[in-house]
Amino acid sequence: MLSLNNLLLIGAALLLAGVFFQKRLLAAPQWRATVTPLASIIGSGFLVAGPILAHAVGPWAALAMLALWGLSYWFGAAIRYNIRYVEPSLANHPPAYQYALERASDVALSLAYFVSVAYYLNLFAAFGLRLAEVVDPFWIRIVSSVVIGTIGLLGVLRGLAGLERLEVLVVALKLTLISALLVLLFKVNAVAFLDDSLSWTNQVEMSGWDKLATLLGLVILVQGFETSRYLGDQYDATLRMRSMRWAQWIACGIYLVFLLLITGQFAGGLPDEGGETAIIDLLTPIGSAVAPLLILTALASQLSAAVADTNGAGGLLAEVSGRRIPVRMANMITALVAIGITWMANIYEIITYASKMFVIYYGLQALQAALAAGRRKQWWRAAGFGVAVLVAAAVVVLAKPVAA
């Protein structure tokens, strides 16, 4: 017999599906341009952010996420500036330093994609194996390696464009399920507030420095907005800049509401094994339908994000090599590197490595924007982007993995 919470979750999901799967919305150019960065941002961070941030900073999880969003919006501003002012220059005999920075950015981003593919598909395997209650890291690595290898092989034999076309539908599914979960969490928190049982999370004792270092290693949770930069063949500069802002604001709202609603549910630290899927144990008590919903969300989001990043890495690697490496072969190289990373690091280390790699790219883009703003004598912008470069360097040097 279905409980009230399960009925609410299923009913909300069905109603919201009617909103997010509207043909008019799915076909709207503004929405389609927003979907690509939005898919990357809310793909994986949504699933691991709650337990990790609650473990690291306890009841301040939402504020910690707001700080991460502020940092990502700062880096996003630099990339949006480059879309407006640097891209036209790159297309028309750019200065040597500008071209060199752009090539370095492409290399950094392709390397970041290598790590992110490992990150996404390790989460994919972890959530998939939870269907059989398996949390052993060895089997998670086995399954993720098989999936990574399969995607790489598909990329060689047939290309991944067909799988990427599913992105709009996958985002609609994710937003439907996530929104339904937020409805249920709002109800649970409201009931707890009314009967005076609402409590804040406990946390593992960490020094202030350790908390900061851990937080700096979680930039991957808000990564993905940069994909708007590489949609120039489909959308003009204005639409890409607007779509990036929309994706960041929508994802920020989802994260903050989720963390505010989930904080009262978390107690204790992360388990020694299965911490990446702790969200399931965290929320299953409020409804038996929650676990299947979370696993479905995870499988859909991780696979779509991994396919997008494999294609992104393949395209960038082919471009950086001057087309000496074909895109399809670059897809397999990406898969092989991701498999290597899977076996060399645990999920928390992969999260931190991915964060650092993306921040190297953001730092290079911020440097590009600072120099471009200086050339235009926009000194306040140049100074702001210059400080962003220093912040990126600090993240790379200081960030460390979360300790369970």
The pLDDT tens digits for 137-153 are 899 999 999 998 888 88
**Is 277 a member of any domain?**
yes
Count: domains in the chain:
1
Q: Which of 279, 268, 255 is nearest to 67 (CA)?
A: 255
What count of other Cβ atoms lies within 10 Å of the Cβ of residue 183?
A: 17
**Is 97 a member of any domain?**
no
**Is 286 a member of any domain?**
yes
Q: How far apart are the first and last CA of the chain?
A: 37
* Amino acid identity, position 216: L
What count of other Cβ atoms lies within 10 Å of the Cβ of residue 368?
A: 26
* Amino acid identity, position 14: L
Provide the whole-model pTM. Answer: 0.88
Range of the domain at 19: 4-91+103-194+201-398
**Is 404 a member of any domain?**
no
**Is 271 a member of any domain?**
yes
Contact 332, 126 (CB under 8 A): no
**Is 41 a member of any domain?**
yes
**Is 207 a member of any domain?**
yes
What does each of the 404 residues of the chain score in pLDDT, given as a tens digit?
468 888 888 888 889 888 888 888 888 888 878 877 887 787 667 777 777 887 777 778 888 889 999 999 999 999 999 999 998 888 888 888 999 999 999 889 988 888 888 988 888 888 888 888 888 889 999 999 999 888 888 877 776 565 556 667 777 888 888 888 888 888 888 887 777 766 655 555 666 777 788 888 888 888 888 888 877 667 888 998 998 999 899 888 888 888 888 776 666 566 666 667 777 777 777 777 888 887 887 787 787 777 777 777 777 887 777 778 887 888 888 889 999 999 998 888 888 888 899 999 999 999 999 999 999 999 999 999 999 999 999 999 998 887 65
**Is 403 a member of any domain?**
no
Residue 218 belongs to domain with CATH number? 1.20.1740.10
| 396 phi, psi to nearest 5 deg | -60, -40
